[in-house]
Amino acid sequence: MLVEVAAPRFKPYTRLTIQQAPQWAAMPTHLQEAVLVVSRVLPFRTNQYVMDELINWDNVPDDPIYRLTFPHEDMLAPEDYALLRDLVLVKQDEVAIEREVRRLRLGMNPHPAGQMTHNVPSIDGVPLRGLQHKYKETVLFFPSAGQTCHAYCTFCFRWPQFVGMDDLKFDAKESNELVSYLKLHPEVTDVLITGGDPLIMSTRALAGYLEPLLAPELAHIQNIRIGTKSVSYWPHRFVTDKDADELLQLFRKVVDAGKNLSVMGHYNHPAELRPAIAQRAVKRIVGSGATLRMQAPLIRHINEDPAGWAELWTTGVRLGAIPYYMFVERDTGPSHYFRLPLAKAYETFQAAYQRVSGLARTVRGPSMSAFPGKVAIDGIVTIGGEKVFALQFLQARNPDWARRPFYAKFDPEATWLDDLVPAFGEERFFFQTEEDEPHRVIPIAAPRAQAHAATAGDGAGDIGTLSTGT
């Protein structure tokens, strides 16, 4: 007689409940303290699967998944940590805590690369707060029901979505504004459903956002992407959850409608793809007709080892996933804790790339998602006796910049595009203005059908304008 084994139940832990986790009592006091203090500033959420299956507790605090999901004292400046620790653990003054927490958050560059100032589109001059439109072909959509995750990455550049700062949050309660905007912009081919994590939603809720995109009047939408960390933090979403089969049927419905459905899986470390349940999730996603692409930033303390990247990409390819991007950690949140020099990023990428077959060399990077666009480091070379970074735009606010090579002086300490200066005596990069005004708006040709839309709004995402900058 077959005995049916109950599917595991998702059990999350937050700052308020982490002390109930079985592993908490075994943590040293100073690590417990760091979690309670730093989680007042940065979002903290994990779950029992991550704690039981992904973290090696014999290697804490150096275990990479622990570093990936648990806050650490060094994520704050020493003086800031000392002040906040005193407020949280000694004085317990909630008013003073909230005041200090907001000050610290606002000093962490909450929305980099013009996300709130230059990426928000509008209709008839009214901003659409749940959308972003930076690149001509792609619109990002933030459904309000998907603005949390199964667990939070400590480096996450979307951290303002989770900390209760509503004035810094992107979310849309319904898809009608998205559909209206897409009808006005036939040049858009891709919609990225993001968050948070859209797959925190039930299948029924997700269908409410995806199915309107299948309407005949949106035939120009060819690709629907879903950004998710659930493939790593809760692969049961695709295998044993009560609506897992329904989710895969929804994927098939999108594919059968003639669209490409791409699950943009965030895998930061090969440990996330080693469990059998995680590999089964990949097989089920790919078996639905959807594609699964793998992307992650290079992060100090977590995935600096080229062998780990090679294992991740090789395993992904074997299961049917497509290596997509290695990103450079963005200049937001506790970036001082996670960032690596660009030279180190390139060396790591090159060493990992050399270890994999051609099927895994679909991966691109290291790539900076900076204000003007996605800038890839193609190499470190010497030209005319000068050591330089060779760079190019993989995506850009101005499409004419894409694939245009440019060069920056080699700087072993540089960690972001803003740290670089032009090579060969040039005064500025080609995408900078003479006055180095980072937010100058350059008009581009607008499709005739969109002529009225090109004059609406502030140019944040309207097809009549694109912004330049560094």
Average pLDDT across each block of 10 residues of the chain; the chain has 470 residues. List them in order. 65 96 96 96 95 97 96 95 96 93 86 61 86 93 89 82 59 82 96 94 96 97 98 98 98 98 98 98 98 97 97 98 95 88 98 98 96 96 97 94 96 96 95 57 32 32 29
Token duo for residue 91: 């004085």
Q: Quick one: pLDDT at residue 451?
A: 33
Residues 192, 263: Cα–Cα separation, whole Å: 10
CA-CA-CA-CA torsion for 429, 416, 467, 225, nearest 10 degrees?
Answer: 130
Q: Quick one: pLDDT at residue 171?
A: 60
Residues 6, 171: Cα–Cα separation, whole Å: 35
Homologous superfamily, domain 122-467? Aldolase class I (3.20.20.70)
Q: Quick one: pLDDT at residue 168?
A: 53
Residue 468's nearest CA partner among 419, 416, 433, 418 is 433
Q: Where do the structural domains in the chain lie, given as residue ranges?
A: 12-106, 122-467
Residues 263, 282: Cα–Cα separation, whole Å: 10
Residue 170's nearest CA partner among 202, 137, 196 is 196
Helix and strand numbers (H, E) in the chain are 14, 17
Q: Quick one: pLDDT at residue 439?
A: 39
pTM, two decimals, is 0.87
Q: Quick one: pLDDT at residue 2?
A: 43
Beta bridge partners of 172: 143
Strands 122-123 and 465-467: unpaired
Q: Under a CB-based contact definition with an 8 Å cutoff, are residues 155 and 333 in contact?
A: yes
Q: What angle do CA 293, 299, 300 make, to 5 degrees?
A: 160
Residues 181, 419: Cα–Cα separation, whole Å: 36
